[in-house]
Amino acid sequence: PLVDFFENPKATIKGVLDINYIFSDDYDVTKLFTKIVLKKPIDASKVKEINFKLPINKSDESQSIGQYYHDLSEHIWAGLPVKVQLIAEDYIGQKGESNEIEMLLPEKPFKNLIALSIINQRKNLSLNREQPFKVGKVLLEIADSKYLEEKLPVAKDWLLESSEILLQSKDNSLFTSDKKTFVIDLLWKTALFVESGQLSVAEN
């Protein structure tokens, strides 16, 4: 089977990955998916690659084209250099691969400075750039904002909850991978809430 990008993948204004592709095969393509790996792998990361299926919309022509939007803005790799590749497989097991395209994995643009600070600390934690307890200290400082106290007390509570968990991380037995995942998810929700208020509920 043959598969390739119809045009280079790109980011939408909302930070969603836009993929346009073309494929063909004499034996009918049964699987079509995208493979994404980091340009520079992170040794400490458990995530080695991202995979997701693409819709197979066949036409009467010898080649079929498709377009697919996939939101990876919440992924911990968002904003990092990656290599994107398309892979097709037919019903007799033959595989075809596209060329690899290098790009920055799309990320949601945050304009609110507090939300952006939260996202940066989320990256530091998820990509192991800083020790968890150091991230916890910074989140404690962000939570001390008068703006959050007066306008978004719920966001402040979420930051304090995240900080409390991270500040316990000096004792490694208390800081599990489940707790780390929980904090990463909570920080994303907090940043969205600060950025757009109640609209973040619908957007998330």
| pLDDT tens for each residue of 98-139 | 999 999 999 999 999 999 999 999 999 999 999 999 999 999
pLDDT of residue 198: 57
Q: pTM of the prediction?
A: 0.87
Helix, strand or coil for residue 46?
coil
pLDDT of residue 174: 74
Question: Which residues, in sequence order, are CB contacts of 201 under 8 Å at separation 6+?
Answer: none
Amino acid at 31: K
pLDDT of residue 201: 52
Question: Which residues, in sequence order, are CB contacts of 81 under 8 Å at separation 6+?
Answer: 38, 39, 40, 102, 103, 104, 105
pLDDT of residue 172: 65
Which residues of the chain, if any, have pLDDT below 50? none
Strand partners, 58: none
Q: Determine which helix (DSSP H) or strand (DSSP E) holds 167, and give its type and residue range.
A: helix 153-167
CA proximity to 185, closest of 158, 154, 151 = 158
CA proximity to 191, closest of 78, 94, 88, 92 = 78
Q: CA torsion, points 10, 199, 78, 190, in degrees to nearest 10?
A: 170
Q: Give the separation between CA 74 and CA 39, rounded to whole angstroms.
A: 19
CA proximity to 28, closest of 68, 97, 86, 88 = 88
pLDDT of residue 59: 72
